[in-house]
Amino acid sequence: MGMDGGRERLVVIGGDAAGMAAASQARRMKGPDALEIVAFERGDYTSYSACGIPYWVGGEVSGPKELIARTPEEHRARDIDLRMRTEVVEIDVAGQRVRARDVDLGAESWTSYDKLVIATGARPIRPDMPGVDAPGVHGVQTLGDGRALIDTLEGTRGRRAVVVGAGYIGVEMAEALINRGYEVTVVDRGAEPMSTLDPDMGRLVHQAMTGLGVTMVTGTEVTRMLTGDDGRVRGVATADSEYPADVVVLGIGVRPETGLARAAGLPLGAHQGLLTDRSMRVRGHENIWAGGDCVEVLDLVSGQERYIALGTHANKHGQVIGTNAGGGYATFPGVVGTAVSKVCDLEIARTGLREKDARRSGLQFVTATIESTSRAGYYPGASPMTVKMLAERRTGRLLGVQIVGREGAGKRVDIAAVALTAGLTVEQMTALDLGYAPPFSPVWDPVLVAARKATKAVRDS
Amino acid sequence: MGMDGGRERLVVIGGDAAGMAAASQARRMKGPDALEIVAFERGDYTSYSACGIPYWVGGEVSGPKELIARTPEEHRARDIDLRMRTEVVEIDVAGQRVRARDVDLGAESWTSYDKLVIATGARPIRPDMPGVDAPGVHGVQTLGDGRALIDTLEGTRGRRAVVVGAGYIGVEMAEALINRGYEVTVVDRGAEPMSTLDPDMGRLVHQAMTGLGVTMVTGTEVTRMLTGDDGRVRGVATADSEYPADVVVLGIGVRPETGLARAAGLPLGAHQGLLTDRSMRVRGHENIWAGGDCVEVLDLVSGQERYIALGTHANKHGQVIGTNAGGGYATFPGVVGTAVSKVCDLEIARTGLREKDARRSGLQFVTATIESTSRAGYYPGASPMTVKMLAERRTGRLLGVQIVGREGAGKRVDIAAVALTAGLTVEQMTALDLGYAPPFSPVWDPVLVAARKATKAVRDS
């Protein structure tokens, strides 16, 4: 029941990718006469690409404006009642209303809803250690974080940087700092960087990053920040050693921001993300949807829920939610776990399950690792590429692919992403009709070479 | 029945990709004690990449050696009795033997077989017109052709070139000649270049090639070669006009080389290619296989046979044939018609059916064409890309994709190639978990954007 007569009210919590994609799509489905849309955002920006922050810091992107897909004004022009710097502090599920607080003035008020979208995003993991709040220690999750880091970099004109964490954000920040002329040290507690890869593939990243001049310190936990007399950070300490730094970047990843949902009694999963059905509706709740970095997603390969904070998923969720909240029908079937990244000219990609994911899912598997090239070996610019493939024992179903290489390596993972979605076996993959011409691929694409080797391994399993 | 006791004899006709891949794989399956392998090649080279010839001519590849994957000596070292410059001139199917002629000496002899592989390849379409045999008119199908063309280019030091035909070979040769410093004119009888694309996408190629400085003459047939007093070519004539040239390259494509098979009574299809079953066995013949540029292949999208001369298919055929001829089991299920090419920095790709293919197959369809970018719009080097998608009316099954763009456009077609193989609908494609990071893709990959638009078109159909 809406506020006035037949008009329903859709309330959206969170003004970034998932929330505003949902709002925009709902508006496309239903005009303002049929649907009122109110969106709350506690920060200063809407619909921005957090994934682009490393490139802004690195100087490839000139300013934060370029990372903003749509401004508050643009949303308002589409009849979305967007309330900036307004934080929702309570969801009253039984009463179908939310309590919002003006961030600057502190004033609070209740807003009722017919339909609710929760898109509260993620919050950075900020390790609880001495000195972590010292000036010069930076996270990189929000545009504000990016601005603050750039101010530090430009203000201090240091030359040494430590990045804590060697996952996607960590390696991308390593590149950004290299581009800024810094000597970069990356410290990670894992035995190899990029724990989203198997360690044997992570080792290739390790070697390549060392080759790029990055000091890699792995298997080592940062225990505290070192600070100077002025209180500013001057390095990081591990159990064994100290690493001087003029700036420290925390690239440890994020957790779902679901305190609000938890307090409201909404269902959370093992990773503390909201649990939804295929239409992105919060389980057990007819009129509440959730999407983006605050939800868990179904992994189509393992059949289990995972937590993946990624803009491309958030946009898809928003699209699906907006369609459904607008009275249409759409689903988000799940993910296969594709991710791609680069550090300078090194490209890193993965999709599906790692060895430990497969084991954890009760899947027995074989692996095949091959080296090939991005183009025909004789064609200029052909660069080496390592492809690792996991296939289920006996059935031969593809379970995962990891690729480390140079130009042309990263997006090749899409071949495997589609194959995983379709449930192809590695033997079926050997016959895939992939694009071939000498500037684009060897006559056997690296993915096909891996599929052939994996097929052999399956036969022997 | 083999020549000596239990040893079988496998005879291979043709020493290029399909034939020698079959021979090599059969040898891997069975040692020389169990299987004798005799291969006949009428030319001077084995296992070479004809697809690489344009890059040799263009100077990206320094010599023909780099295009040879395996030399006759390397094949012989693997116990393959390879007879170079020896042409098979007759297949006696009933008698299980082939008659071969020494190309230089003319001597002929019969060789019996237990199993036969026909890999006679293709021959260039050489239009029957006045002057086509004049010095300075070149095909580019064989390494010998490449050598002859390079000799002409280096010997004459001309500055104007005409390429007849604007298909894959034509546009690749245009690039090669640009790289050699030539003023290039491409003449094609089609309304737009790249008739393997729909005309609306071909138009984009037309514009881009004009932008590269190529003079495009379309909708026009070359009627004869113009020759000088010395007999050398000096241009081409069309019905309306004349185009001066110091060298003319014929890039009109190829036909299956199946005269031998036809004379032996083996089954040919509508395109004059040999017809095989899924194990690449010639239909109706237990012990004869055929593969590579002399066969027709099943198009998995239309369900009809097509003719596609492409090294990547030839290699797969050879692999399958060798496995089967060696006593194992493998199949080549068919193709979806993927092809990728480039001319300078323009990338051109297609897979599946064009509009006219779909109509010819009795399929009703909708189309969607979108423009997007190769990377996040804000990321340096993001280049525009046009994606056209065909989907079956009502069912929404993907039927085909065509892409024209710059860096990153070509291999994106692989996403669609796998989706076609798996029979995905365009709506299923909208949820594909493709690799996303700003240097690799916008948050919605161009293929996803096209799938979304096509989904809408299907709903309205």
**What strand order describes the sheet that includes B242-244?**
B222-227, B233-238, B242-244
How close B344 gets to chain A, by Cα (Å)?
11
> B186 lies in a domain?
yes
A141 and A54 in a single domain? The answer is no
For residue A4, name the pLDDT band (cuts at 50, 70, 90).
low
Residues A349-378 pLDDT 10s:
999 999 999 999 999 999 999 999 999 999
B452 and B303 in a single domain? The answer is no
Domain boundary among A302, A325, A348: A325
For residue A5, name the pLDDT band (cuts at 50, 70, 90).
low
Q: What is the pLDDT of residue A32?
A: 97
CATH code at B263? 3.50.50.60
Residues A382-392 pLDDT 10s:
999 999 999 99
B105 and B162 in a single domain? The answer is no
B385 and B284 in a single domain? The answer is no
Could you tell me which of B125, B256, B253, B128 has the C-alpha nearest to residue B194?
B253
Q: Would you say residue A6 has pLDDT above 90?
A: no
- Distances in whole angstroms, Cα of residue A113 to Cα of each of A3, A10, A108, A287, B180: 8, 6, 16, 9, 69
d(CA A164, CA A154): 20
A108 and A138 in a single domain? The answer is no
- In eight-state DSSP terms, residue A214 is P
Residues B34-77 pLDDT 10s:
999 999 999 999 999 999 999 999 999 998 999 999 999 999 99
Cβ-nearest to B55 among A49, A379, A432: A379
- Distances in whole angstroms, Cα of residue B8 to Cα of each of B1, B223, B287: 6, 52, 12
A161 and A187 in a single domain? The answer is yes
Mutation to test the A interface, candidates B197, B297, B414, B429, most A Cβ within 10 Å: B414
pLDDT cut 90: percent of chain B above it = 95
> A333 lies in a domain?
no
Q: Which residues of A touch B67 (CB under 8 A)?
A: 378
Domain boundary among A252, A270, A301: A252
> B302 lies in a domain?
yes
Cβ-nearest to A415 among B339, B414, B444: B414
> A356 lies in a domain?
yes
pLDDT cut 70: percent of chain A above it = 99
Cβ-nearest to B60 among A340, A380, A423: A380
Inspect the interface and report whether the beta carbons of A424 and B419 lie closer than 8 Å.
no
B376 and B450 in a single domain? The answer is yes
d(CA A430, CA A444): 9
d(CA B181, CA B161): 10
> B341 lies in a domain?
no
Residues A305-347 pLDDT 10s:
999 999 999 999 999 999 999 999 999 999 999 999 999 999 9
> B185 lies in a domain?
yes
How close A333 gets to chain B, by Cα (Å)?
7
Could you tell me which of A385, A383, A378, A377 has the C-alpha nearest to residue A401?
A385
Mean pLDDT of A224-248: 96
Q: Is B294 a catalytic residue?
A: no
Residues B144-188 pLDDT 10s:
999 999 999 999 888 999 999 999 999 999 999 999 999 999 999
Cβ-nearest to B422 among A60, A332, A422: A422
Could you tell me which of A95, A94, A96 has the C-alpha nearest to residue A38?
A96
How close A396 gets to chain B, by Cα (Å)?
15
A171 and A271 in a single domain? The answer is no
For chain A, the domain total comes to 3
Mutation to test the B interface, candidates A29, A300, A418, A444, most B Cβ within 10 Å: A418
Residues B141-156 pLDDT 10s:
999 999 999 999 999 8
Put simply, whether B437 touches A (Cβ < 8 Å) is yes
Q: Judge contact between B391 and B429, C-beta under 8 A.
A: no
- CA-nearest residue to B455 within chain A is A330
B209 and B150 in a single domain? The answer is yes
B144 and B237 in a single domain? The answer is yes
Mean pLDDT of B391-417: 97
Domain boundary among A298, A325, A352: A325
Tell me what the pLDDT averaged over chain A comes to. Answer: 96
Q: Which residues of B touch A336 (CB under 8 A)?
A: 433
> B2 lies in a domain?
no
CATH code at B383? 3.30.390.30
Mutation to test the A interface, candidates B302, B335, B433, B456, most A Cβ within 10 Å: B433
Mean pLDDT of B214-221: 97
B182 and B236 in a single domain? The answer is yes
Give Cβ neighbours of residue B133 (< 8 Å, ≥ 6 apart): none
For residue B393, name the pLDDT band (cuts at 50, 70, 90).
very high
- CA-nearest residue to A52 within chain B is B438
> B92 lies in a domain?
yes
* Segments forming the whole domain that contains residue B215: 126-252
CB pairs under 8 A between A and B: 209
Tell me what the pLDDT averaged over chain B comes to. Answer: 96
A145 and A204 in a single domain? The answer is yes
How close B275 gets to chain A, by Cα (Å)?
19
Q: Would you say residue A1 has pLDDT above 50?
A: no
